[in-house]
Structure 1
């Protein structure tokens, strides 16, 4: 079936905004600016960036409210006429999103630390590890049975991760890249936990995806903003925190100084906030209009764009290892997500479908789309 113009627009919006999100965050990381100590240095504030990301997710809540009131007024308060993206249960306890938000907070912060140490393309590729942990957790906690092609797909993903990691080990920035890669992979354990919690305790509430993303964004932003205060007073020696004036875990004041003193850093942070909001909307709409599998394929296209762009502006060197690792990852994810289901078996409605962004979808039939 041919795609409509609106579906093509949504697909393009998802690819573009998803690519901008990773590239904007990395751009801020690589930009130099004067901090509160008067020193010119790179922007190394992963927790402040994570707070900005959650603020972007919170914007989805505002969009939901505006869309809800607009369509209710246009349709004479008939809730049945609401679009699928905002239709859903409004009588629920918002605190059901607290635990997923805490998982998202932890995973995003760790991933942003890793992104500061490795390349944007490796960051995007290594997030494919999510398939492995979510598959294993679904067996343990959801009592699912994975089919043979799921295991084969997971095996290929592991192989792809090893090749991508080897590529970074052979790069010029060997030590930091390897540590960053490990942090990104470990963060996927937390993301997988988030997805299992969402499916087990949140999916039955039938909340509008935009509203769900907004609530998680609100909780994440408020909690992380509060945590930034004690982080300012906790000092730890080490290269990771050496850019902060007094070696704090996070110096948000220094971060704001750098944002206001550099248009590059400010643009990167703004790009992160706006792109995550639009990416959430586009991702949710793609899943509703097309399918979760289509969304997975589009997310792979985003990885290619990020890598090509990074090569074009010469912030990365081309590596055949990484190219090979990416293709192995891509094939593994495609097999796991039943893209080649005609070669293996018919699609099962209980097939576990993994999307790479930021708190994604844990099942093709799962009504929530939590992205981070």
Structure 2
């Protein structure tokens, strides 16, 4: 199997796993420190766990480097995980760590308040802002087809938001709060997070390519800074009173850390889900940075958009959501815009059709032409 196909498949499957695991954990009702049932909603603690798993990748990088370096002086450049410059400034990953802390908390909270399919489809919105930020920081240009694709993707997002407001009245298996304002709040949090994500992707692509950074090393340092930033945020948000629907803990705060140990006690499935979530997030970020370095942020988002089909198939099979044709329509509109933005497939269809028609016309003209008599001798003919 081609390594590019393997990397894309690993990226899609790890991203699918972390969305499904987060949503599954958020619908679990477990006993908190006050002996009452609460949903397992800890966006800050899960962000901290995600960064901890990424920081462990730094140890994996050191181990791989030690093994590969024994093969020769240039052996590191032949291995995809260790390929890159040895001159690395860790502070470059400080801003991405801060942005990922903020976006992860927003995304985990938004996923708790909305549907898993809507969550993933709205995440396709980041491609729009990646294009806009790329014109400012990567000296790229947007043509008329790019703007048409942006308009198409916007129409798909509007269709998804309108459907969420309607189906919350009858499709609420995975929703704890069944009102229009709550689900719109969840969708809005995802949109805000994707704007920040777009800037994060462009920033990572610029520095990964300009400084020839090693993705696994950059992911490890990002995890290190993320642990520090998220730990400070966890201490603060553990004491900040919150309103509904952000106060699912025993003490009515944004993220009640005192509930985690009682909720995990004797709950092996929840513990295994957290371990799987941490591993999938670490793999997803590291592989995503590799795609951004060796390809582009746009292709990273294009590959990320594939997992919406896996998530949609899973939630329908698990009966988390009701099959809805309007959801399929919004997904098709959104995917049409994404394909149009990245590959201009419809423009290529038009050009190939026009070229084929011109070839056929030219062949017909040659067939209808009357042959002229030749003045050359017969033996020459």
* TM-score with structure 1 setting the length: 0.83
Report how far residue 95 of structure 1 moved. 0.7
Tell me the residue number matched to 2:362: none
* Distance in 2 of aligned mates of 1:294 and 1:191: 15
Which of 220, 240, 245 aligns to 1:214? It is: 220
Report matched runs for 1:16-35 at 5 Å: 16-35=13-32
2:232 equivalent to 1:230: no
2:252 to 240, 244, 247: 247
- 1:264–1:170 Cα change, 3 Å: farther
Contact 2:239–2:253, Cα closer than 8 Å, also in 1: yes
Q: How does 1:290-301 map to 2 (within 5 A)?
A: 296-301=301-306
1:165 aligns with 2:170: no
In 2 relative to 1, CA 30–195 (structure 1 residues): closer, same or farther, beyond 3 Å? same
CA 1:145–1:98 in 2, change beyond 3 Å: closer, same or farther? same
CA deviation vs aligned residue, 1:133-161 (integer Å, no higher than 9, x gap): 22223334555321112111111110110
Deviation at 1:94, TM superposition (A): 0.1
Displacement after TM superposition at 1:11 (Å): 3.8
1:309 paired residue number: 314
- Quote the residue 1:54 is aligned against: 51
- Residue 69 of structure 2 corresponds to 72
Is the CA contact 2:249–2:259 (under 8 Å) kept in the aligned structure 1? yes
CA change 1:118–1:8 in 2 (3 A) is: same
Alignment of 1:184-223 (within 5 A): 184-200=190-206, 203-223=209-229
CA distance in 1 between counterparts of 2:319 and 2:28 reads 15
- CA distance in 1 between counterparts of 2:162 and 2:46 reads 28
Q: Quick one: distance in 2 between partners of 1:108 and 1:287?
A: 19
Post-superposition offset of 1:326: 0.7
- The residue number in structure 2 matching 1:181 is 187
For residue 277 of structure 2, what is the aligned residue in structure 1?
Answer: 272
The alignment status of 1:123 with 2:128, answered yes or no, reads no
Q: CA RMSD in A?
A: 2.6
Q: Deviations over 1:215-261 (max 9, x none)?
A: 1122112210122112222223x113332222222222212332334
Q: Assess, with a 3 A threshold, how the Cα gap between structure 1 residues 292 and 139 changes in structure 2: closer, same or farther.
A: closer
Q: Which has the larger radius of gyration?
A: 2
> Does structure 2 retain, via aligned residues, the 8 Å contact 1:17–1:279?
yes
**Structure 2 length normalisation: TM-score?**
0.81
Deviation string for 1:56-98 (max 9, x for gaps)? 322332222221111112x134355431331112222201110
Measured in 2, the distance between the counterparts of 1:291 and 1:185 equals 22
In structure 2, C-alpha distance between the alignment counterparts of 1:133 and 1:291, rounded to whole Å: 14
1:334 aligns with 339
Residues 99/14 of structure 1: CA separation in 2 closer, same or farther (3 Å cut): closer
- Contact conserved, 2:248 with 2:254, CA < 8 A, in 1? no
Count matched residues. Answer: 340
Residues 187 and 296 (structure 1), Cα distance of their counterparts in 2 relative to 1, 3 Å cut = closer
Aligned to 2:267: 262
CA contact 2:97–2:225 (8 Å) conserved in 1: yes
Partner of 1:41: 38
- The answer for unaligned runs of 5 or more in structure 1 is 346-372
Offset at residue 329 of structure 1 (A): 0.9
Whether the 8 Å CA contact 1:45–1:250 is kept in 2: the answer is yes
Structure 1 residue 12, shift from structure 2 partner: 3.4
Change (3 A) 1:138 1:81: closer
In the TM superposition, what is the alpha-carbon distance from 1:20 to its structure 2 partner?
A: 0.7
Residue equivalent to 2:373: none
Contact 1:57–1:217 (Cα < 8 Å) also in 2:
yes
1:149 aligns with 2:150: no
Structure 2: unaligned runs, 5 residues or longer = 169-177, 352-381
**Separation (CA, whole Å) in 1 of partners of 2:286 and 2:327:** 31
Contact between 2:124 and 2:305, CA under 8 Å: does it hold in 1?
no
Pair 1:284–1:132, CA change in 2 (3 A): closer
Task: Report if aligned partners of 1:110, 1:184 keep a CA contact under 8 Å in 2.
Answer: yes
**Using the alignment, how far apart are the partners of 2:213 and 2:334 within structure 1?**
32
Q: 1:285 to 1:188 in 2, by over 3 A?
A: closer
